[in-house]
Structure 1
Amino acid sequence: MDAPLMSAEAMSAKTASESIEDIEIELLLDAVYRYYHYDFRHYARASIKRRLLQARKQWGYASVSDIQSAVLRDETILPRLLNFLTVQVSEMFRDPSYFRALREKVVPHLRTYPSLKVWVAGCSNGEELYSLSILFAEEGLSDRTMFYATDINPAALRAAQSGIYPLDRVRLFTENHRLSGGHGSLSEHYTADYDRAVFDRTLRERTVFSDHSLVTDAAFGEMHLISCRNVLIYFDRDLQDRVVGLFGESLARGGFLGIGSKESLRFSAHADMFSEFVREEKIYRRNAR
């Protein structure tokens, strides 16, 4: 038997409810920006909505407006909200072929510089930073390289600085490292401590950890490599354009930019600043002009 059709009144109520929810989300994002100066207004709205509804459900609020009221009146709510609005899912040597391409095709060019600057933009909990630091150590470039690891989430930056990860994740990290062309064993770079893997302090000795917003902050230059993977997909088109332009301004001429496998510069207003260097791994090179 066919399910009964939704009545006109019910459909109207559903549409009105969705419209109110969208308005509440817009007001919440505006409030967070005006009061705390965190700007999520140009993040992809579908993704933001999904995360806010997860937060509302988990926290037991009746509406998104209740989240707004809470975060404006209780500053301890903000870090919890940031953990929902920023994506902290990553792994070391994620997409090993990307790191193999850096090792085999980008590093030979980087060797020609007496000193290097590498920016890991949106570093999350630090997995990508440590992957690059290990790669550069294995290629003999550590002593001439400064790393800059940035994120807008203070909790993520603290996690990145600690270099501590659950030991049960290390098997995946180890396999990724092997597939990326890693030299030796990943175990050479960490100490097992009960259920944790503590990565060597030497891997972050030449790293600056900094709060930096791709939405509002200025260029971070002059870099020889910027790795910002799986971040642009969470931005709307205008913000993607802004960030690609920022990366172009932050790179030295001939510098390299690596983005996520599902991301592209093709439709950016600033695409002419770059040339494809390793097409299949989404690695670009800053044009000389």
Structure 2
Amino acid sequence: MKFEDGVWPEYDEQLEKLEIRLLLEAVFNRYGHDFRNYSYPSMRRRIWHRATMEQLGTISMLQHLVLHDRDAFERLLGDLVIPVTELFRDPGMFRFFRGKVAPELAKLPFVRIWHAGCASGEEAYSSAIVMDEKGLLDHSRIYATDISRQALQRAREGVVPPDRMEAYERNYEDSGGAQSIAAYYGEAGGVFRLKPSIADRIVFAEHNLVTDRSFNEFHVIFCRNVMIYFNSDLRDRVHALLYESLADGGFLILGGKESVAFTRLAGRYEIWSDEHRVYRKVR
């Protein structure tokens, strides 16, 4: 099969499904990343995008490439876990966190927060800034994890593109920010970098929600817009992991299209905000 001028010839649907299944099985066995229970339409689009970018005529050819070339696998991984994030994304949720959740955290001697699927880190920066403004950051530790090494490298750098600062300033103000987002960034040579007083409270590490176990007990877990790509079986598994990782009375914060409703654990949470998908573990 030959790729010409951005157009693919007619393709056998059953063969395509087989090739995708074999590719995802190969990725799991070779690299330990399990996408086998992700939404099929989403995986199909992203896999074909990578095949197109690599100028390959079949998914089997893509499988051969990623099994023998780690850099090619990293490129595929970047397509499969496309990060969509920004500072204080969904400002209303952060306003709720600032006004309702943070006062509960202030009652604790030490606070552990986990951002699961942190992408390039902006959400973790945002929670750290809120915790700092509430006077809680000095007795907090924020863990931010992702399966993408490239995303984690960007997250550790703490750099914000200059052309995004104006939009981030609006998000910050809408979230109830007390001053200016620029107060938390140092600028040098046109590069804005998160100040060490904030960045040093965040630990970035690799973690796969699909295959790895719980690694601590947390008082808040952010897992936003991650499970929308999972099928129902995988969502159940990840919900069990998150529940296991939450301390009693801990808060789970999901994305706007996600919920604990209709999961086996729904009765073990109290709804704190249905609008902002904030739940508290009650038992």
Is TM more than 0.5 here?
yes
Aligned counterpart in structure 1 of residue 13 of structure 2, from 18, 21, 25: 18
Per the alignment, residue 144 of structure 1 pairs with 139
Provide the C-alpha distance between the structure 1 equivalents of 2:163 and 2:275, rounded to a whole number of angstroms.
31
Tell me which amino acid in the other structure corresponds to 1:240: R
Q: Does 1:202 align with 2:180?
A: no
Q: Does 1:250 align with 2:257?
A: no
Per the alignment, residue 168 of structure 2 pairs with 173
Moved more, 38-47 or 268-277: 268-277
Q: Does 1:54 align with 2:87?
A: no
Distance 1:190 1:56, change over 3 A: same
Alignment of 1:1-289 (within 5 A): 17-287=12-282, 289=283
State the 1:220 CA deviation. 3.0
Q: Tell me if the contact between 2:128 and 2:201 (Cα under 8 Å) persists in the aligned partners.
A: no
State the 1:222 CA deviation. 1.1
State the 1:63 CA deviation. 1.1
Per the alignment, residue 5 of structure 2 pairs with none
Tell me which amino acid in the other structure corresponds to 2:243: G
TM-score by length of 1: 0.92
> 1:187-228 deviations in whole A, cap 9, x for unaligned?
101123344321112212122211111001111331000011
> 1:64-83 deviations in whole A, cap 9, x for unaligned?
11110001111221111110
Partner secondary structure for residue 230 of structure 1: coil
Q: Percent identity?
A: 42
Provide structure 1 residue ranges, at least 5 long, that are not aligned to the other structure.
Answer: 1-12
Q: Tell me if the contact between 1:264 and 1:282 (Cα under 8 Å) persists in the aligned partners.
A: yes
Q: Tell me if the contact between 2:93 and 2:276 (Cα under 8 Å) persists in the aligned partners.
A: yes
Q: Tell me if the contact between 1:221 and 1:249 (Cα under 8 Å) persists in the aligned partners.
A: no
Q: Tell me if the contact between 1:56 and 1:62 (Cα under 8 Å) persists in the aligned partners.
A: yes
Provide the C-alpha distance between the structure 2 equivalents of 1:172 and 1:197, rounded to a whole number of angstroms.
14
Q: Tell me if the contact between 1:168 and 1:195 (Cα under 8 Å) persists in the aligned partners.
A: no
Q: Tell me if the contact between 1:119 and 1:149 (Cα under 8 Å) persists in the aligned partners.
A: yes
State the 1:62 CA deviation. 0.6
TM-score by length of 2: 0.94
Tell me which amino acid in the other structure corresponds to 2:38: Y
Counting matched residue pairs gives 275
Provide structure 2 residue ranges, at least 5 long, that are not aligned to the other structure.
Answer: 1-8
Give the CA RMSD over aligned residues: 1.3
Tell me which amino acid in the other structure corresponds to 2:245: S
Tell me which amino acid in the other structure corresponds to 1:169: R
Moved more, 203-212 or 22-31: 203-212
> 1:118-145 deviations in whole A, cap 9, x for unaligned?
0010010001000001111111101010
Tell me which amino acid in the other structure corresponds to 2:271: E
> 1:37-81 deviations in whole A, cap 9, x for unaligned?
111111111111111111111111111111100011112211111
State the 1:273 CA deviation. 2.2
Provide the C-alpha distance between the structure 2 equivalents of 1:196 and 1:239, rounded to a whole number of angstroms.
39
Partner secondary structure for residue 125 of structure 1: coil
Provide the C-alpha distance between the structure 1 equivalents of 2:215 and 2:250, rounded to a whole number of angstroms.
13
